[in-house]
Amino acid sequence: MKQIFAAVFVVIVIISFIVVAFTLTQVQQEEQRLKEGLEQRSILLAESLKETVQPNFINKSDQQLQNLVDKFEDKQRLAGMAIYDNKGNTIATSSSLITQVLKTKKIAEEAMDADGANGDFVELTNEKMYLLATPLHDQGSVVGALMIAQDASYIDTRLNEIWRTNLLRLFIQASLLSFAVLLLMRWIIYEPIRGLVKTLKLARMGGVEQNPKGLTSSFFFRPLVKEISSIKNSLSEARISASEEARLRLEKLDSPWTAERLKAFVKDILKDRTIFMVSNREPYIHTKNGGKISYFFPASGMATAIEPVMEACGGVWIAHGSGDADRLVVDSNNKIKVPPEEPKYTLRRIWLTEEEETGYYYGFSNEGLWPLCHIAHNRPTFRKEDWEEYKKVNQKFADAILAEIKNQDRPIVLIQDFHLALVPKMVKLQRPGAVVGVFWHIPWPNPESFSICPWKKDILDGMLGADLLGFHTQLHCNNFIETVGRELESLINFEQFTVTRNNHISFVKPFPISIAFPNGFEKSNGQNEKESLMKSLGIKTKHIGLGVDRLDYTKGILERLKAIEIFLNKYPSYQGNVTFIQIAAPSRTKVKKYRDFAVEVEKEEERINNLFKTKGWKPIVLLEKHHNHTQIQKFYRSADFCLVTSLHDGMNLVAKEYVASRYDEKGVLILSQYTGASRELKDALIVNPYNGEQTADAIKEALEMKPYEQTKRMRNMRETIKNYNIYRWSAELLKTMVNLG
């Protein structure tokens, strides 16, 4: 539509230019005609009056002259009349004519000097007049002058009338023409093009619409119909080939897992069963921006990992609607098709009150369970009122799940993370035939640490309602089994790694989550990407280090900044040559601990910069804002090393994203030993994040590592991620769940 309005605007501008040019010419011609006519009439009138005035002037009868002027005032279209002697003195004048104005006297004097008529247009008493002076003679010599004044305001009135008429005509013509152009372009171009886009989009997504709407009936676009049909057929053939290839790959364990292979795999094992994904965090958040509604993808490792799975498999994702415009875009069932640009699955939103969100999410989940599971020396806070809200919201999620699976036969429900620990049992009690799985994205602590939770038995009992409990590592599985053994009466099978409670068996297995490699990671779009990035940030340096995290105390950001300080003190030759960029997306800002932590990070960044910064250089650049996937990839590809120093982490997908972005097989990953990723990415430089000296030495090693060594390490890590990406993760998880039910 923007192009149509632009075309209409151009048409209006061209028409306006033509009309204005024509009107200017018409006005100039009309003005010249009216002035010439007024001048001719004034000359004739002046000559006629001169025959009467001249004899009286010669007799020097001033009173008679004044009487004569008064007699002719307001007659014969005269606006005024005046008589001057040859010295410029006024002998007689009309009351309405100002004769002492310099311009007026000058006209009369010039007429006497030239011994001929002289006229000009002047402004008198805010009115436009035409003044004409003609000389008076006595025996051949000039003895005075007769001046007449005629009202010339009608000339401007006429010219203004022409402008008004033509501009009104322009407005009417432009309006009618614009309306006609809009209709024509909409009917002839816009609607057929929109039909073309819709058809191609449906073809790309596997739709079955046969004829592009509007194209077959449009004379202009008939030649395109054949080509569009060919494109649709080609896309269909390519999709069939990809599906067939993916199906064949199912039998080859060493073939790479892709979205197409996962789709074929899911279709093969699920048949017509639907996947119901459940999480607190939604994958797309809609917000109001002025009068427009936009959306963004949240800074969440869980959402980053799960979203490609849902795009490949389809189904329903149930999540909390947290955006201020989320309610404006859903249908009457609180659903919306996503991704917005190319819908592939359904997002069902659940609404929470402010009190529920405060108690369930910010309170029990993030001030209680989060620090409890992340052993990062931050004391958990447990409040009875938060626990009550947690139970209430878990029941709300369970009710939504039960409503969605009401008419489903053997539905598969996959619940994500620690926010919904009670939901599995709530669902299983109402739908015993449903296959329920839980994936715990954060670490599971040792039994001693978990035992401090006042409602530990309720949480464990709720989780054991699931048929499958997935964790990132075998260590987390071991911790969970040991915790259950200490806290609940149950039968534990250490060979099968199962827990039997109330005649229900729960399998506990490790599923180290990954990313959508190679899908979604682009190659560098130019040799100067690093220079362009530095210029946009105002950075002048030789080497770039990178950290990408939410502003969370478990991510080791303060320890990381301290290591940068130690590095610059210990190896001063790098001062001025290394800049560390910390991308820190704001997180859980309603929790005081997180607000205080953000302030701590800002103060530490400022302190270290003040120690080392010079003109044009500073060691640390802190970017406290959300970056989308495409933006972050530019940082990944430009960084000489990436610091991942989590104090305790389930997996940490930033480490894997950095590796996946390095198509050049350069760069060095420095990875905390307390991340799940350290069990897989063994070619990273593994450090203890609490040991600043060790981290500083690792930075130096990374910067001085030979290119061939970087390539060897990066190639090995990329191969690891390639062989076990998110599509293989979800295939193994779903296959396990299907085999259970």
Question: How would DSSP label each residue in 33-75?
Answer: HHHHHHHHHHHHHHHHHHHHHHHHHHTT-HHHHHHHHHHHTT-
Based on its alpha-carbon atoms, the radius of gyration of the chain, rounded to whole angstroms, reads 43
CA distance 649 to 132: 100
Please give the C-alpha separations between residue 510 and each of 276, 650, 736, 737, in angstroms, as whole numbers. Answer: 21, 11, 11, 13
Q: Which two tokens stand for residue 150?
A: 């005629």
Q: In which region does residue 701 sit, left (phi positive, over 0), alpha (psi from -120 to 50) or beta (all else)?
A: alpha
Going through 340-388 in order, the beta strands assigned E by DSSP cover 345-350
Looking at the structure of the chain, the number of domains it has is 3
DSSP conformation class of 690: T
Q: Considering the domain boundaries, does residue 501 fall inside one? A: yes
CATH code of residue 62: 3.30.450.20
Same domain, 444 and 366: yes
* pLDDT at 206 (0 to 100): 57
* pLDDT at 212 (0 to 100): 47
Same domain, 421 and 303: yes
What's phi and psi for 363, nearest 5 deg? -80, -85
Q: Considering the domain boundaries, does residue 118 fall inside one? A: yes
Task: Please answer whether residues 349 and 336 qualify as being in contact, where contact means their C-beta atoms are separated by less than 8 angstroms.
Answer: yes
Same domain, 613 and 483: no
Please give the C-alpha separations between residue 219 and each of 92, 214, 224, 278, in angstroms, as whole numbers. Answer: 82, 10, 10, 50
Domain stops at, among 479, 510, 541: 510
What are 641's strand-pairing partners?
Answer: 545, 668
Q: Could you write out the three-class secondary structure of 105-139?
A: HHHHHHHHHHCCCEEEEEEECCEEEEEEEEEEEEC
Q: Considering the domain boundaries, does residue 342 fall inside one? A: yes
Same domain, 555 and 490: no
Q: Considering the domain boundaries, does residue 231 fall inside one? A: no
Same domain, 311 and 430: yes
What's phi and psi for 203, nearest 5 deg? -65, -40
Nearest to 681 by CA among 654, 648, 708, 647: 654
Same domain, 380 and 455: yes
* pLDDT at 214 (0 to 100): 46
Same domain, 505 and 643: no
* pLDDT at 493 (0 to 100): 95
Same domain, 535 and 618: yes
Q: Quote the pTM value.
A: 0.71
Same domain, 477 and 385: yes
At 706, the amino acid letter reads K
Q: Which two tokens stand for residue 543?
A: 């080497």
* pLDDT at 202 (0 to 100): 66
Nearest to 470 by CA among 418, 515, 422, 508: 508
Domain stops at, among 95, 130, 151: 151
Average pLDDT, 10 consecutive residues per value, the chain (741 residues): 71 83 88 87 83 72 70 64 82 68 80 86 80 85 86 86 87 80 72 70 57 51 62 60 54 70 86 92 92 85 86 93 94 94 92 96 96 89 97 97 93 96 97 96 96 97 97 96 96 95 96 83 70 91 95 96 97 96 92 94 97 94 90 93 96 94 95 96 97 97 97 96 92 92 74
* pLDDT at 176 (0 to 100): 82
CA distance 233 to 241: 12
What are 415's strand-pairing partners?
Answer: 278, 438
Domain stops at, among 103, 132, 151: 151
Same domain, 472 and 579: no
* pLDDT at 529 (0 to 100): 87
* pLDDT at 582 (0 to 100): 97
CATH code of residue 667: 3.40.50.2000
Interacting residues of 123 by C-beta distance below 8 A, sequence separation 6+: 129
Interacting residues of 348 by C-beta distance below 8 A, sequence separation 6+: 316, 317, 318, 319, 333, 334, 335, 400, 404
Q: Considering the domain boundaries, does residue 61 fall inside one? A: yes
Same domain, 390 and 538: no
Task: Please answer whether residues 300 and 351 qualify as being in contact, where contact means their C-beta atoms are separated by less than 8 angstroms.
Answer: no
Task: Please answer whether residues 360 and 393 qualify as being in contact, where contact means their C-beta atoms are separated by less than 8 angstroms.
Answer: yes
What H or E segment, with its residue span, contains residue 79? strand 78-85
Task: Please answer whether residues 54 and 136 qualify as being in contact, where contact means their C-beta atoms are separated by less than 8 angstroms.
Answer: yes
Q: Considering the domain boundaries, does residue 86 fall inside one? A: yes
At 684, the amino acid letter reads A
* pLDDT at 226 (0 to 100): 59
Q: What is the DSSP string of 163-219?
A: HHHHHHHHHHHHHHHHHHHHHHHIIIIIHHHHHHHHHHHHHHHT----S-TTTTT-T
Q: Considering the domain boundaries, does residue 250 fall inside one? A: no
Pairing of strands 504-510, 468-471: parallel
Q: Supply the range of the domain harboring residue 387.
A: 275-510
Q: Considering the domain boundaries, does residue 212 fall inside one? A: no
Same domain, 642 and 714: yes
